[in-house]
Amino acid sequence: MNELEVIRRISTLLPPAPPEVLVPLGDDCAVLEIGDRRWVAASDMLVSGHHFEDWATPEDVGYKAVAVNASDVAAMGGTPRFVLTSGGAPAPETALRCFAGVVEACERFGVYPLGGDTTRADVLTVDVAILGELATQPVLRSGASPGDSLAVTGELGASALGLLALERGMTGQERLISRCLRPEPRLEAGRAAARLGAGAMIDLSDGLASDVRHVCDGVGCIVDLDLLPIKDDTRELAESLGHDPEFLAATGGEDYELLICAPEPLLGTLANSVEVPLTLIGQITDSDVIFERGGESVDGLTGWNHFT
C-alpha cells in the first residue's frame, strides 16, 4: 500500500462530516468554520530513521516539524496561529532539545504552542498539529482549469542536494543543508495567491513530479523541466555527484515551495506583489501529466513514497 491508498482506506472509516467542516481530509489542510471565522487544520509527523538520521540535531527536527506544518497552512492561503506538539525520544534530554526547536520555529512563524504530550520512544519522533486562520477563501488542490499556468515559488532541488550533502558528511554546503533542515514556508506568497483568487495550490513536500498530480485530478498538465528554478550551487553539486539537476529538482522532495495554478496575468500580479521569486513552469491541460525537456516528453518521473 502506498500513502494515497492508506489515506483512501482511512477516509472510508470516517463518519459524515459535521456542517462546520467545509473541506474534509484530502487537501493540504482541512477547513473549519467556527463562529464567523474560518480555520485550517493539519498535522505532520517526523520519525528518526525514516525522515531524518543522526545528521539532524533534535533542535533541527523540532524546527522542521513546525515549518512543514506551516507550509501546509501556506498552501491553503492561511496564517499559522497555534500548534500542539507531541514527541518522544529514548532520552528525555533529546525530547527537550526537540521541543526547543519547536519553540524556536513557533517564534519565527508567529505561532503559539498550545501544548501537547511527551513520552519515551525508541527513536526520536515528533508530531505537530497546526491551526491556521483564513482571511480569504481557501485555495484548494482541486481548482485547476485547463489554460491555467503553473508557477512555483522559490527554488527546487536545493533541499534534496542538502540531504545528499548531509548523508555524505560534506562541508561547505551550508545553504543547501539549511534548505533541507530548516525549510522556509512560503506564507506571504500563499496568502497573496489566495487574496488574488488563484485556482489551485499545493506545497511541494514529496517532489514536484508526485505533488503536481494532486492538482491534476480531472485535468492534466505539461511541465517543462528546462524551466525549473534551480540555483547554481544546487546544479553544481548535483552534477558533481553524478545526478541530473532537473531530475533531482523534479523528484527530490522536501522543497516546501508552493505550486500555484492560475491564469497567467494573475500569476504576473502575484509575482509583483511578493518577495519570493515566482517561476512559470508549465500549463494545465485537459488530460495527462506530461514532463517535457527540449520539446520531448520524459517518462518515469515519480516522487517520494511514504511507505517504502
What's the min distance (Å) between Cβ of 203 and Mg ion?
4
Going by C-alpha positions, the residue among 277, 226, 256, 40 that lies closest to residue 140 is: 40
What's the min distance (Å) between Cβ of 214 and Mg ion?
9
What's the min distance (Å) between Cβ of 241 and Mg ion?
27
Closer CB to Mg ion, residue 89 or residue 180? 180
Q: Which stretch binds Mg ion (CB under 5 A): 66-74, 112-120, 213-221, 273-281?
A: 66-74
Task: Answer yes or no: are the C-beta atoms of 3 and 307 closer than 8 Å.
Answer: yes
Task: Among 44, 59, 60, 72, indicate the residue that binds Mg ion (CB under 5 A).
Answer: 72
What's the min distance (Å) between Cβ of 114 and Mg ion?
21
What's the min distance (Å) between Cβ of 159 and Mg ion?
14
Question: What is the helix (H) or strand (E) element at residue 203, kind and residue range?
Answer: strand 200-203
Instruction: Give the nearest residue (CB) to Mg ion.
Output: 28
Per CB under 5 A, 148 contacts Mg ion: no
Closer CB to Mg ion, residue 68 or residue 95? 68
Site map 95..124 versus Mg ion, x via CB under 5 A: ------------------------------
What's the min distance (Å) between Cβ of 202 and Mg ion?
6
Closer CB to Mg ion, residue 179 or residue 214? 214
Task: Among 28, 148, 206, 246, indicate the residue that binds Mg ion (CB under 5 A).
Answer: 28
Q: Is 135 helix (H, G, I), strand (E, B) or coil?
A: coil
Instruction: Give the span between the Cα atoms of 261 and 145, in whole angstroms.
Output: 8
Closer CB to Mg ion, residue 133 or residue 292? 133
Q: 164 to 223, contacts with Mg ion by CB under 5 A? A: 203
Instruction: Give the span between the Cα atoms of 135 and 151, in whole angstroms.
Output: 23
Q: What pairs with residue 201 in β-bridges?
A: 260
Those residues with Cβ within 8 angstroms of residue 121's Cβ, 6 or more apart along the chain or in another chain: 87, 88, 89, 90
Instruction: Give the span between the Cα atoms of 14 and 29, in whole angstroms.
Output: 16
Q: Which stretch binds Mg ion (CB under 5 A): 2-10, 12-20, 70-78, 214-222?
A: 70-78
**Dihedral Cα 45, 274, 260, 294, nearest 10 deg:** -110
Those residues with Cβ within 8 angstroms of residue 80's Cβ, 6 or more apart along the chain or in another chain: 69, 70, 73, 74, 109, 110, 111, 130, 131, 132, 185, 187
Closer CB to Mg ion, residue 203 or residue 255? 203
What's the min distance (Å) between Cβ of 58 and Mg ion?
24
Going by C-alpha positions, the residue among 68, 47, 67, 197 that lies closest to residue 126 is: 47
Which residues contact Mg ion (rule: CB under 5 A)?
Answer: 28, 72, 203
